[in-house]
Amino acid sequence: MAIPYDVRRGRFLFESYASGRCPACLYDTRGNICEACGHANDPGQLFDMYPTGGQRGGPIEMRSQLQLVLDIERWRDPLARSLSQMCPPLRPNLARLVREMLSGVLPILPIAFPSTWEIQASFPNCEGLVLNVWAEMVPECAG
């Protein structure tokens, strides 16, 4: 996958390293998930994207990088069935998010990112990758 890379700092821009405006709600946000609306995002698709704490307009390159991902669209039917059973008791904002997400193509969720900070991915051929904090929580919530 292509991931934004901060040339000055020598690191990939994801999660809290990437700042910009959410493509879904246009609020200021960080990469991979919008704290304002809850939509997943691709850091490279943020409007006015820049390195958090860095200069806007600095040198950013899109670099190809091996990533582990979960293509949530492949799981649309079982996910929609499960969510439809939960939706009536969901809070209104969460129910809205579920409806909005299911109205389009579901995102590809990165399971790991290229970094040295966080929990190292212990899967084969994943040297230099760390677990996505949002993906870390899924087994915890489901268990």
3-class state of residue 141 by DSSP:
helix
Whole-structure pTM value: 0.82
Are the beta carbons of 23 and 31 closer than 8 angstroms? no
Res 137: pLDDT: 62
Mean pLDDT in runs of 10 for the chain (143 residues)? 92 94 96 92 93 84 89 92 76 86 91 86 87 66 42
Q: How far apart are CA 102 and CA 119, in angstroms?
A: 30
Q: Are strands 18-21 and 129-131 parallel, antiparallel or unpaired?
A: unpaired
Res 42: pLDDT: 92
Domains of the chain (ranges; CATH) run 1-65 (2.170.220.10)
Res 132: pLDDT: 86
For 42-51, b/e burial (b = at least 16 CB within 10 A) is: bbbebeebbb
